[in-house]
């Protein structure tokens, strides 16, 4: 497990899937805001569930987020589209509704940066988020991410096109936490 002060990132367990699927995937409007793929009615037990347990690969690293104080499953985090040639990747996270607004997102971003830069040796991390997602933008900026651009009307979200921000962070701009 990769540990912070409040949260930890660990491998996804089979028992995580039903809860993540019910609270993050089956929330259709919320899913539309968090994922570029359209919602389709996959059951939690199906191999196509975005939370299905899969073996780790070179291109993706999926984690379950755990609140350390309680041991409860708080959400999911992912480093995706890892490009080993250019040494970059994208990151994302989603917290269960009960864990939002508690300051956990910023730490999860920091832990993903630690994993990407220190464990995987990447040079660049990037995230894309809706322009109105103030919580994710703040979490990214607290960790040193810089706004690089706007993708105008790039995201189809529950019946309308919304702008998407692109934020990036280079390894030499990142400040790792004190040991």
| Residue in 138, 152, 144, 154 with CA at minimum distance from that of residue 174 | 144
Q: Which residues of 136-152 are buried (b: 16+ CB within 10 A; e: fewer)?
A: bbebbeebbbeeeeeee
CA gyration radius, the chain: 16
Kindly tell me if the per-residue pLDDT of 179 is higher than 70.
Answer: no
Kindly tell me if the per-residue pLDDT of 139 is higher than 90.
Answer: yes
- Structure confidence by residue, pLDDT tens digits, 107-130: 999 999 999 999 999 999 999 999
DSSP H helices, 35-122, are 104-113
The pTM of this model reads 0.93
Q: Domain 2-173: what homologous superfamily?
A: Gcn5-related N-acetyltransferase (GNAT) (3.40.630.30)
The structural domains of the chain, with segments of one domain joined by +, span: 2-173
1-5, 36-40, 75-79: which has the minimum mean pLDDT? 36-40
């Amino acid at each position: 497990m990769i540990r912070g002060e409040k949260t930890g990132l660990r491998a996804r367990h089979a028992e995580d899937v039903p809860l993540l699927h019910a609270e993050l995937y089956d929330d259709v409007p919320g899913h539309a805001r968090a994922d570029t793929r359209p919602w389709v009615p996959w059951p939690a037990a199906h191999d196509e569930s975005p939370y299905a347990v899969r073996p780790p690969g070179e291109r993706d690293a999926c984690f379950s987020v755990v609140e350390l104080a309680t041991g409860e499953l708080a959400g999911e985090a992912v480093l995706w589209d890892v490009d080993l040639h250019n040494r970059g990747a994208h990151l994302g996270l989603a917290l269960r509704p009960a864990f939002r607004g508690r300051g956990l997102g910023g730490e999860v971003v920091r832990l993903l940066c630690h994993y990407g830069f220190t464990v995987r040796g990447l040079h660049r991390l990037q995230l894309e988020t809706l322009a109105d997602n103030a919580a994710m933008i703040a979490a990214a900026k607290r960790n040193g991410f810089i706004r690089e651009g706007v993708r105008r009307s790039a995201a189809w979200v529950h019946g309308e096109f919304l702008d998407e921000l692109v934020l990036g962070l280079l390894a030499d701009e990142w400040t790792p936490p004190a040991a």
